[in-house]
Amino acid sequence: MFFVSSVTLVCTSAFLCFYYFAISARRHPLPPGPKPRFFSGNVHQLPRSEAWKVFAEWSETFKSPMVFYRIFGRNVLVLNTLKAANDLLEARSNTYSDRPMAWMYKELVNRKMAVFNISSQHPRFKVYRRLLHAGLNPRAVRNYYEILDDERRILLRNLRSKPDDFMAHLRRVAGGIILKVTYGWAVVDQEDRFVSLMEQSFAMSVEIMKPGRWFVDVFPFLRFIPSWFPGAGFKRQAAVWREQMSELDRKPYAWAKAQLESGDYVPSFTSQHLSPEDGHTLSSDEEDIIKWCSAALYAGGADTTVSALASFILLMSLYPDAQRHAQAEIDEAVGKNRLPTWVDEESLPYVSSVVKEVLRFSPVARLGLPHRVLSEDVYHGYRIPRGSTVVANIWAITHDPGLYPDPITFNPSRFLSTPGKPPQPDPRKIVFGFGRRVCPGAHFAEVSLFLNIASILATFDISKAVDDQGREVDPVVEYTNGVTSHPLPFPCMIVPRPGASSLVLDQL
């Protein structure tokens, strides 16, 4: 009798606590933001370009670390400070690690099972993370050093022979590294079919994921309209994109599997997981998981690398003093007869700071990837409705003068410790995401970027282009608006360093 009464009391107390929280949460106001219209919300106020800057300005206008807006029935919360991002996406990651539903992209184009899109509540989520961690942790990355070394030498050789085509060379090295690591595929030329396939998929993703483009994302019932119905062109287009996007997952994976079965293959992430240590026969579900994880490496590791390296080239042309400082450090610590290696990273603190400052100044994913709130929450006295999309404004955080004084100046020295002046926060803890959605390939990306950036600094001088009259041409610093931001095309000069690393250049 006493036991029953105790259980009843506990259950009643729990219910009352939940009820009180639910009621009190609804009494809290929504976070501040621009005033919405009754039906469409803030659609008319959404920026068409550089949204990261507009959201940061909204935070200043409303004097809040976060701003709230609505697109028809979808609520969006933008976090513009590191504290807000850590408080919600890190400390409350159980609640904030899901992904919002994008009906066009996830359902109609069938990308809902992709690693970066899958719900945190899906059983595969933890399996994906475990497989990717196994293939990308620091110990595993050591197995890729030879690949990274081979590919950076090809990059340097290409930059030496055709410096004006530097963007094509950057795409080639990014694709070459990730395809070799993921599938064992060797890229032999600029027109490589898998690199081209990857580039096409990136372009399609940007087109599909344009904010506010598809009514089906606002009114999900539209997905049930037959494809032949008038006005259902979006469904016919989705079917085309669905087939094209699936090639990104199927074709490289099928090639790698066929190579493994033939016995003539290069060890890779895919071959490793298709050959389990216990020798058991993989189920179709296990193979599907490996296929999606391989595609995540393939898609997530290439475009981001191109963006960071392109920003590095642009920034070196604009900040020659930083470039000369890094080159002098390499000459002193490494010498001129070999390329820097990852072992040299500790003895090249300024070069490492250049990598950090590139990531801070020009974060690859300026608004990160969106999160979704699983249950109603309250933060700083504001109500965050269940199902809201939450975006970390990474650009605003890395340009917060409270964290990074004089944020619009490229200054690698900000990460060096000097007497009485500690280094500023490491941006790598920001730019790779938060909580359970942090990028699993962060360490691999750091190693790859360091090796390529240090090698380019050791062997080349980068400067502004000159016109026909010998006058310097100032490049325009503008970025694209996709999930991954790239600098718009810009001219520059890349020439071998006189007297520096001559032996290395001759050996390329």
**17 is an annotated ligand-binding site residue:** no
**DSSP-derived secondary structure for 461-476:** EEE-EE-TTS-EEPPP
Handedness of CA 28, 32, 35, 37 (dihedral sign): negative
In angstroms, rounded to a whole number, what is the distance separating the alpha carbons of residues 374 and 387? 6
- Calculate Rg over the CA atoms of the chain: 25
Task: Report the DSSP pairing between strands 465-466 and 382-384.
Answer: unpaired
In angstroms, rounded to a whole number, what is the distance separating the alpha carbons of residues 248 and 345? 34
Distances (CA, A) of 18 to 13, 15, 97, 245, 307: 9, 5, 22, 44, 46
Strands of 249-345 (E only): list them: none
10 Å CB burial of residue 157 (0-12, 13-18, 19+) is middle
Strands of 400-457 (E only): list them: none
Strand partners for 494: 462
DSSP 8-state class, residue 190: T
10 Å CB burial of residue 439 (0-12, 13-18, 19+) is buried
Residues within the annotated binding site? Answer: 439
> What residues are designated binding site for heme?
439
